[in-house]
Amino acid sequence: MKKQYLSILILSIVITGCSSNATQGQMQGRPGGGMMQQSVSVEVADIKKGNLVISQQIYGDVITDQYANIISEVSSELVALEVTKGDTVQAGQVLATVDTSDVQTALLDAQVALQNEKQQLQNAQISKEQSQQRLDKAKLTYEEVEAEYNQWSEGEEGNTTQSQLDLEQLENRWKEAKETVEKKERLYNEGAITRNEYEQSLQQEEEARLAYEKGQLSLEGDQQKDSTSYEQAKIDLESAEKDLEKSAVAIEQANLNIQKAELKVQDAQENVNDSPIVSPISGEVSEINYQVGDKLSTQTPLLTVSNYSNLKIDSQITHEQKPLLPIGQEVKVLTNNTDQTLVANVTYVSTSTNDNGLYDVELELGNPIDGITSGSIVQLLFEDVLVEDELIVPTSAILQKADKYFVYTVEEGKASEKEVEIINSQTEQTAIKGDLQIGDQLIINGHKLVNDGMNVLLPGEEPTIMPPNNRNGEGMPNRNGGQRPQQPPSSEEQPNPQKGGE
């Protein structure tokens, strides 16, 4: 019965202490003649010094650091597929086989073409040897007639009018032939005609020139026979020299054709060797685009092998977020597929914005982790330090009066009002300055019910009760535990909860 009475008494004291009609520090009576001081129950927290930070969140796409799109080197039928999507493969492992009948035929054709080009080279070499022999003979003849020509003197006039007309016609034909050569040369340089057409014009110009020169010889009726022999020997020598040059060009062209033919043979042989398609890297088969029986394209990958040993995260950030993510910065990674808290390192930040006006950023996630694969979407968390090394308090503990801000602390069992200056305020925490010390007890709950100097009760404390015979405060009990009255009330004075407290 006594315990019930004391519980009801303490409850009434706390309710009375919260009443707006109570006077600060006023003594109030209770049944039985005891007196208590008005107090407000509060919760406190120690004031700390630190940094005011906020967390920012962006999303990123997980991608593989290494992958291979495996494309068939030949357009052929897929006859065997040795793997399925999700299989783990090793570098060099056979993945598929294609039909090689077409590539075998192409290889034989390339080999035949190579032999033909080699035969052309032999023919060009024989032609060069023959041209060299003719040149040697022409040189010998020229040297013999040159000696006789040196003894020749200018002949007498004896030209006929018709001969002059014939010579003029030959000269005009030669001029036209030279103009044609110049025109053909321009067209050849521009790629409009073939080399054969150009060389034909040269041959025609040469023939016109020879005809003109022969006409000149016929015009000189009284020249000595040795002079004609000399000119012919000179012409034969020049012709032999040109034939030798053409033979050398033919050999050079034959060698180039052989090189091209050898490359075609090499490509055809590689196509035959590539008929079993192997994986160039170790990894997982992440995509297959064909089925057995399909004709493979040389453009679309047959399949894709991805190596997940090193995963990366691609994301985009704003200009304001860029200073928060320098190269090497560690960032927390969260995903719905795992309960682990992961860490990624920033490896790249673009210097200019993309089409979206954002900066591209890459992070290295490292070794594969269960639940995270290429294509996963993850959250990236990083902090922005707003204020460093200042007093940090809960934002809800700050009160405002007019244009001033203040908090309450507990000093010797009483609420103490402290004016503060707000440095930076966020939803949960605020950085402040003021007449406060690290470790001061800040009222964080009940602070809206107290005034400066009001008695407060911390969790676990009880109101102070003075006995009836000590109205002047002598022998005031301390706050730790609260002294009970010396004379408990008689049974008649105790309220009966069942009767409504008569």
In the chain, pLDDT over 70 holds for what percent of residues? 77
Give residue-wise pLDDT tens across range 378-424. 888 888 888 999 999 999 999 999 999 999 999 999 999 999 999 99
Residues 6+ positions from 482 with CB-CB distance below 8 Å: 461, 462, 463, 464, 465
Calpha distance 182→204 (Å, rounded):
12
pLDDT value at residue 47: 94
pLDDT at 283 over 90: no
Q: Name the segment(s) of the chain with CATH classification 1.10.287.
A: 104-269
CB 173 within 8 A of CB 211: yes
* Nearest alpha carbon to residue 67 among 286, 391, 281, 306: 306
Does domain 104-269 match CATH 1.10.287? yes
Of 24-28, 112-116, 268-272, 497-501, minimum mean pLDDT range: 497-501
pLDDT value at residue 236: 85
Confidence band, pLDDT 50/70/90 cuts, at residue 152:
very low
pLDDT value at residue 219: 61
pLDDT at 139 over 80: yes
Buried b (16+ CB within 10 A) or exposed e, 6-41: eeebeeebeebbeeeeeeeeeebebebebbbbbbbb
CB 179 within 8 A of CB 134: no
Higher-scoring residue by pLDDT: 340, 391: 391
pLDDT value at residue 450: 93
- Look at the domain 55-95+284-385 and name its fold: Elongation Factor Tu (Ef-tu); domain 3 (2.40.30)
Q: What is the pTM of this model?
A: 0.41
pLDDT value at residue 471: 47
Q: Name the segment(s) of the chain with CATH classification 2.40.420.20.
A: 45-52+388-450
Give residue-wise pLDDT tens across range 158-210. 444 465 677 788 888 889 888 888 888 888 888 888 888 888 888 888 888 88
Q: How many residues in total does the chain contain? A: 502
Mean pLDDT across 126-150 = 82
pLDDT at 323 over 80: yes
H or E element: which one contains 334?
Answer: strand 330-335
pLDDT value at residue 25: 43
Confidence band, pLDDT 50/70/90 cuts, at residue 466:
low
CB 242 within 8 A of CB 91: no
Mean pLDDT across 218-236 = 67
Q: The tokens of 140 are what? A: 């010998």
Confidence band, pLDDT 50/70/90 cuts, at residue 225:
low
pLDDT at 254 over 80: yes
Q: Name the segment(s) of the chain with CATH classification 2.40.30.170.
A: 55-95+284-385
Mean pLDDT across 451-464 = 88
Confidence band, pLDDT 50/70/90 cuts, at residue 155:
very low
pLDDT at 269 over 60: yes
pLDDT value at residue 473: 44
Mean pLDDT of the chain: 78
For tokens 């801000």, the residue is 405
* Nearest alpha carbon to residue 68 among 308, 371, 275, 312: 308
Does domain 45-52+388-450 match CATH 2.40.420.20? yes
Mean pLDDT across 272-287 = 83
Q: Compute CA distances 167 → 102, 163, 214, 217, 220, whole Å.
A: 64, 6, 9, 10, 11
Calpha distance 200→208 (Å, rounded):
12
pLDDT at 77 over 60: yes
pLDDT value at residue 148: 63
Calpha distance 96→268 (Å, rounded):
19
Mean pLDDT across 286-306 = 89
pLDDT value at residue 371: 65
pLDDT at 311 over 60: yes
CA atoms within 13 A on the CB side of 364: 13
Calpha distance 400→404 (Å, rounded):
6
Q: How many CB atoms lie within 10 A of CB 129?
A: 10
Indicate the Cα dihedral angle 180, 186, 189, 194, nearest 10°: -30
pLDDT at 368 over 90: no
pLDDT value at residue 51: 92
The amino acid occupying position 28 is Q
